[in-house]
Amino acid sequence: MSKFADFDKGNNSIASTNIMRKFIVAGNWKMNTTVPEGVALAKAVAEKSKEVPANVELVIAPPFTHLGAVAAAVEGSKVALSAQNCADKAKGAYTGEISVDMLKSVGCEYTILGHSERRQYYGETDGKLVEKMKLALEAGIKVILCVGENLQEREAGKHFDVCRSQIENVLYHFSAEDMANVVIAYEPVWAIGTGKTATAEQAEEIHASIRNTVEAKFGRETAQDMTILYGGSCKPSNAKELFAQPDIDGGLIGGAALKADDFIAIALSF
Ligand code: PEP
């Protein structure tokens, strides 16, 4: 059964429960495509986005170099722009960094923060993420915060604890009001780019526990309204089963976001 069975499109809420949760499909392009390739991909996504229901938000996160050109390519469509990261400083002598004001000035609505590749390869700590998130929210940029366990942690049965502490260490520094501009992406590291997807049951039990962690600090309403995405080898063939779970509100998509047809097929899987 479709997740929209009791969705009230008029007021953008799930009618029976009054939940104001958004459904989102976000594409993380990572370090892929040249600018002309990225513009062509963005144009194709924008064109096909007309097929996607109004209550599913589409977000694309191209590399920094593409943002201005991609913003122009998707202008007037329902596709929102995201960065993949931002600096932990507002401005100044930080060679190679990109500030939230710069992102805002090219039309970014979102930034991804804490992707496992940033945590693993670039030493991104929860402390740094707090600094980045403060700057992003102050600048009016919404944050897609990634959490998730690696294979060793999953095999040791620590996956619930890992996700809980990643949420506590970052989100607990913010207010319930801030949570309106935060999306959580659960991305088991062992499923990213590996072709191994968490089963719908594995993903749902973690999503429910993440929602409980949000509720413990911010209360039930905020937790129920929080959009929690699944990421990790999500593709057209498995998106429907994942998105049918009560606590999975869409996906953060890597590889499959590089093909407009696959990305849109995923967005049509609710
Ligand atoms: C990601 O890295 O955010 C991701 C979900 O990648 P993939 O879909 O390729 O596993």
pLDDT in tens, 63-92: 999 999 999 999 999 999 999 999 999 999
> Which CATH number is associated with domain 23-84+97-267?
3.20.20.70
Cβ 231 under 6 angstroms from ligand 1: yes
Cβ 197 under 6 angstroms from ligand 1: no
Confidence of residue 9 (pLDDT cuts 50, 70, 90): very low
Cα–Cα distance between 68 and 62 in angstroms, integer? Answer: 10
The two structure tokens encoding residue 109: 């609505």
Per-position b or e across 245-264, b if 16+ CB within 10 A of its CB: bebbbbbbbbbbbbbbebbb
Nearest atom (ligand 1) to Cα of 185: 3
pTM of the full predicted structure? 0.95
Secondary structure (DSSP) of 92-121: SS-TT---HHHHHHTT--EEEE--HHHHHH
Active site residues: 115, 187
Residue 1: pLDDT above 50?
Answer: no
- Tens of pLDDT, residue by residue over 112-152, are 999 999 999 999 999 999 999 999 999 999 999 999 999 99
% of the chain surpassing 90 pLDDT: 90
Residue that is written with structure tokens 């973690």 in the block: 206
The two structure tokens encoding residue 127: 């402390």
CB 262 within 8 A of CB 233: no
Average pLDDT value for residue range 152-170: 97
Domain ranges of the chain: 23-84+97-267
Cβ 87 under 6 angstroms from ligand 1: no
**Average pLDDT, whole number, for the chain?**
94
Cα–Cα distance between 230 and 242 in angstroms, integer? Answer: 8
Average pLDDT value for residue range 155-180: 98
**pLDDT computed for residue 10 by the predictor:** 40
142-147/110-113 β-pairing = parallel
Distances, alpha carbon 211 to alpha carbons 56, 103, 184, 222, 237, in Å: 20, 29, 10, 9, 26
